[in-house]
Amino acid sequence: MKVRKLSPEDLNKMASNFGFSASNDYTKFDDLQSLMRSKQVDEFLIQQLTATGLGSDLVKEAEESKGFVSYKNFINWLYIEQCGLRIIEGLSEDFGVVEILEHYNDYYKIRVPRGDKTIGYVFGLIEDKKELYKISEYSVSQTTLEQIF
């Protein structure tokens, strides 16, 4: 699955909600965790702002920019990770177990146990929730148990 990119209007709305303005493109990396908490961002994502977490690119940017990151990079990262969490939580409700095989940038490769569900059911489920999950592209394939293990 690929998460749909933020439109410039949505990016500006989200940035405004976090108190960012176009007059200053950068923000202090060290302020991001408290800012995220003040906006009630999931604690899991807050804890990912580390060199080995999902926010490692932001950490690297801060190291290269004397402690600052582009607020646009931060907003895009947060949006994608929030969408990813929504996808995983939603699929967990439908399948019980969700295995993340790959994740980089806006791309997620996920495996769910099909159980008694047909591939058509899985395809239809994702198609029906495409807007909710903000998915731009996806594919569904079938894997046999022998291939999984």
Residues whose CB is less than 8 angstroms from the CB of residue 17 and which lie 6 or more positions away in sequence, other chains included: 39
- The residue extents of the domains of the chain are 2-82, 83-148
Q: What is the pLDDT along the chain (149 residues), one digit of tens a residue?
A: 999 999 999 999 999 999 998 778 999 999 999 999 999 999 999 999 999 999 999 999 999 999 999 999 999 999 999 999 999 999 999 888 999 999 999 999 999 987 888 888 888 999 999 999 999 999 988 764 434 43
Fold of 2-82: Recoverin; domain 1 (1.10.238)
Going by C-beta distance under 8 Å and a sequence separation of 6 or more, which residues neighbour residue 106? 2, 3, 5, 80, 136
Calpha distance 106→85 (Å, rounded): 12
pTM for the model: 0.89
Candidates 75, 67, 85, 99; CA nearest to 134 is 85
